[in-house]
Structure 1
């Protein structure tokens, strides 16, 4: 199955989940139009408290629906948009991508910057969920499953069902870390 968009979401206020919409508009260098995380500088409240002048490397949050399905099999009722993502995908191993991978979706391009670092709000949303989304593996690695964060490199409109093309970055591959 080719990689595609399953659902798109936006929220103009800082709340945990985002509402499903028919389409979102991505603005180059800014993010999802109308979303609380839109802007050149960091918009996540915890990051703003540290240094509001930081560049916004978290303009777009993407999560694979396969992670949501895995959570469902473990007994957690988590629907697209519930974890605050802007774009829910299918058929792409988002968590295995490398820094700088370009995702072209209906003419828009999102450049992957890193992994979402799950926060305490996930535990408040569904008790026990945080341990499912960030944990230490048997070999001592920290595994983060809450999706990836990216910046808009080329603007455009993204809707449910849009295909996703994946272009690895040139040069050596750098694994994703939390951003």
Structure 2
């Protein structure tokens, strides 16, 4: 399982996160990236958020005005089927190694994409009783911890290096 990092993104808090060419990934995430609400975001188990470009394109087709970085992801990834992602999988992303830790649940910050219909995008990307492999599994992204710090850049390969045991 391998793909490509289409965009590396950071922000000073909130969405959208903006594209940068490269960043250092450390235990608390990408250098220069800030999370506004540390009660729900950030920390070593939620250091980096990954989202599929294919899922963003699906949301665009459903009428949502989203693009890479819009949902607050740090890495927008192309070519990996997010329905196959599971906690504990490890990926080499550029020079860093990331371990998937938990599905991302949509928060109120994403309300800006609802076009006046509260909860619309949340329903499009998440189902509370998500079943691995289902159509909405990981559609809102997957959080990862940084197991091995390193540089991550746009265009880098992201590849599975270790399956969940």
User: Quick check: TM above 0.5?
Assistant: yes
State the superposition RMSD in angstroms.
2.7
Larger radius of gyration: 1
Corresponding residue of 1:165 = 159
With the length of structure 1 as denominator, give the TM-score of the two structures.
Answer: 0.77
Return the offset for 1:125.
Answer: 3.2
Corresponding residue of 2:66 = 78
Indicate which of 117, 126, 132 corresponds to 2:114: 126
Q: Distance in 2 between matches of 1:55 and 1:105?
A: 19
Return the offset for 1:170.
Answer: 5.0
Q: Distance in 2 between matches of 1:170 and 1:122?
A: 30
Contact 2:85 2:138 in 1 (8 A): no
Contact 1:26 1:157 in 2 (8 A): yes
Task: Find the residue that maps to 1:26 and give its secondary structure.
Answer: strand
With the length of structure 2 as denominator, give the TM-score of the two structures.
Answer: 0.83
Return the offset for 1:143.
Answer: 4.7
Return the offset for 1:2.
Answer: 4.9
Where structure 2 has 5 or more consecutive residues not aligned to the other structure, the ranges are none
Contact 1:99 1:169 in 2 (8 A): no
Q: Distance in 2 between matches of 1:135 and 1:119?
A: 13
Task: Trace 1:13-162 onto structure 2 (pairs within 5 A).
Answer: 13-27=12-26, 29-37=27-35, 44-47=37-40, 56-127=44-115, 128-135=120-127, 143-162=137-156
Contact 1:98 1:168 in 2 (8 A): no
Contact 1:103 1:165 in 2 (8 A): yes
Q: Distance in 2 between matches of 1:121 and 1:98?
A: 25
Q: Distance in 2 between matches of 1:168 and 1:92?
A: 15
Task: Find the residue that maps to 1:70 and give its secondary structure.
Answer: helix
Q: Distance in 2 between matches of 1:70 and 1:133?
A: 10
Does structure 1 residue 6 correspond to structure 2 residue 1?
Answer: no
Return the offset for 1:136.
Answer: 6.1
Contact 1:18 1:84 in 2 (8 A): yes
Return the offset for 1:160.
Answer: 1.3
